[in-house]
Chains A and B, each alone.
Chain A
Amino acid sequence: MARYLETDVLIIGAGGAGMYAAIAAATAGGEVLLLDKSVIGRSGATIMAQMTVAAAIGEEEPDDWRFHLNDTIAAGRGLVDEPLARILCQSAPERIWQMEEWGIGWARSGNHITQAHAPGHDRNRCVYVDFLSTGPATSRTLRNQCRRHDNIRRISDLTITDLVVRNGRADGAVGLYLETGEPVTIAAKTTIIATGGLTSLYQRNSASANMGGDGFALGLRAGAALIDMEFVQFFPIGHLAPRLIGMDPIMWDPFRYKLGGRLLNGEMEEFTQNYGTAEDGKYVITRDTATYAIYREVEAGRGSPHGGAWLSFEHISEADLRAAFGPVIDRLADNGIDLTKMPIEVSPIAHYHMGGLRVDQTMATDVANLFAAGEAVGGANGANRLSGNAITEAFVFGELAGRSAAEAAANTSLPDVRDAAGPYLAVIEEAGGRPEPDGGTSPTAAIADLQSILQRDVGPFRTGDGLTGALAAIAELAAELPLMATGGAMAFNQQLADWLALRNMLEVARTIATAALARTESRGAHQREDHPGLDEAWTCNQIIRRDNSESGGGITLSRAAVRRLPGPEGAP
């Protein structure tokens, strides 16, 4: 690995958004460098998604992107960045057809692509790949397309630790090559952050190990604005126990849609009726009520053994289970789970981040030559995301960011960042030069501590006291950070990688808690127990920026009007 690399377009993160961006940028011409902190196309959320992708392709029944847009705006509870959502919905069909051309193999019935219904959509709109293979098929297809472009250089195991900013312009990045422990400097005409979401900040999550929100911290330190950081989507009945491998932890959602099922507390009693929703074996409870009811039962000492609720399908026959979920029943059996004989445990888990980097309609951040794509972008889904919109977002924003970045690169000369990289490289070197702890915990253990803090106090239900306490606890960990040991020089030093991840996680955790504390209302995914109910005065976005004027680098929070479309899009 060379220690100094040059490229036209640098893409940080190789999930659905990063790979799509790479293909678009390479097609537009120019050299592309596509990096991932783990393995290209394998390590983020994209490959793990098993459900659906929303796009108004009108195969199953007549549809129009405007209907999709209306649903997206309604779900976002007043906070959707409408121009971004419009791009999302309008370009979605084109991307779905392009993926079809590239051989993804969307599930079909007869001569048309099948479109399933998902909650919040006004019609059958969601495409998928059988059986529960949407994410793997997406990754395979995009990886293959990337390989076909000689001008896309791909590098795995390269963690970007900072962007190199000169005169307010992003001129590249520095990072750590994990295999050898060498620091690497990259000069780039333009850069795209496609690092995905932040759900591994929470103890209970659907995340891979690489979803600690690096891109938000990279952008923040570089001077970019973050939007809607308080809106983390929790999924109420994520799988908790027994251990289940090879399945999407949100898989019980389709089970409940098809088969109902019963939610029970630790005493094996139905409880949702005590929170306003009697279910009678049907799936009628809303996500926020389910989350609230489960939290309350656990708090009252009536949780399931692992601290969630039971979900039982024991009253449903084997034949009915098989008819509905065929091969999935065998995969459950491989995990020792027989739904006719045992309930499973479920709990709210962090699943997706609505907030993120603020971009304009070309996916440009407000730092020159810096773009963002995919889940790293905030705003398009407002306070709550419709299911199926996230992969669509990765495709659409990825493609657009790739094109925009290539275009901007064509008008930019290659920067030389050898000198400017110095202070950023020093962070890696300093961290790497601390084999022994000067006290405090190891970064690996501290990540677990941070996850429990966020789960408890910055999770689906929040209070002013809890958030204030969380901010203090985050600050305490941040103060320990400079003392934490990183193992010294060695190949594949994950302890150092954990330290670098924790550095970002702490910064990002602070933005979530700060924005959540300020928003004294409950809306969408942000629920304040001490401020129940939506407050019209809060129909605005919160913007966070780094405040470099303060010593130690604070953050500033401000409000911004929600971007609206000039007129109603209306029906087609």
Chain B
Amino acid sequence: MNKPHLVHLKIRRGGPDQPARYEEFPFEFEDGQSVLDALRWIRGNRDASLAVRFSCINANACKECVMRIDGRTGYACTTPLHPGDMLIEPLPNKRLIRDLVTDTLPPDER
């Protein structure tokens, strides 16, 4: 299958007590592939320790994959990849758990 485009994802890694650290992952993709597709590929093929919350993958129903993408808040599963660099970070206004996962649960569900 033809994967015509290349993106370099710069991903913020680490937990709340660690200094911010950015890691870069190249990913070849075809039109229509999402940021979540790239993050899942990284987990499966490069670094399974990357923490990223998601459930529904395609349906945009669970709303779990919310994060900062190129400085804007969005869903990883609905944000298309674009060639070049992309900056992927956890939500800035929520308590950081690790990597891209922040505390987005309702307080009465823990």
Contacts and interface: CB of A to CB of B under 8 A. Distances in A.
Interface of A: 1, 38-40, 42-44, 47-48, 135-136, 147, 154-157, 179, 208-210, 241-249, 305-306, 335-336, 442-445, 447-448, 487, 490-495, 498
Contacts of A445: 44-45, 48
Interface string B50-65: 0111111111111110
Contact of B64 (A39, A242, A444, A493): A39
Contacts of B20: none
Given A48-B59, A243-B32, A494-B43, A39 B49 contact: no
| B33, B97, B109 interface centre (most CB from chain A within 10 Å) | B109
A147 B77 CA distance: 28
B80 to A, nearest CB: 8
Given A136-B61, A495-B48, A490 B55 contact: no
A154 B37 CA distance: 30
B51 A209 contact: no
Given A245-B78, A491-B15, A492-B97, A209 B48 contact: no
B23 interface: no
A442 B45 CA distance: 9
A43 B48 contact: no
Given A208-B62, A245-B78, A443-B48, A147 B108 contact: yes
B55 A495 contact: no
Interface in B12-66: 15, 30-34, 37, 43-45, 48-49, 51-64
Most buried by A among B1, B77, B105: B105
Contact of A208 (B48, B52, B56, B101): B56
Given A209-B55, A492-B97, A306 B62 contact: no
Contact of B56 (A1, A47, A147, A179): A47
Nearest to A248: B59
A332 to B, nearest CB: 12
A246 B51 contact: no
A247 B77 CA distance: 12
Given A487-B49, A494-B43, 14 more contacts: A39-B55, A42-B62, A47-B62, A48-B56, A243-B31, A243-B34, A245-B77, A246-B58, A249-B58, A305-B1, A306-B1, A336-B31, A492-B53, A492-B97
Given A490-B98, A494-B51, A42 B64 contact: yes
Contacts of B97: 179, 491-492
Contact of B55 (A208, A448, A491): A208
A442 B49 CA distance: 10
B94 interface: no
A154 B103 CA distance: 16
Nearest to A243: B32
Given A156-B105, A243-B34, A490-B98, A38 B78 contact: no
Contacts of B59: 47-48, 208, 246-248
Given A47-B61, A47-B62, A335-B32, A39 B105 contact: yes
B110 A155 contact: yes
A42 B61 contact: yes
Contacts of B60: 245-246
A472 B51 CA distance: 32
B31 A156 contact: no
A147 B106 CA distance: 11
A131 to B, nearest CB: 14
Contacts of B110: 1, 155-157, 179
A243 B109 contact: no
A243 B2 CA distance: 14
B89 interface: no
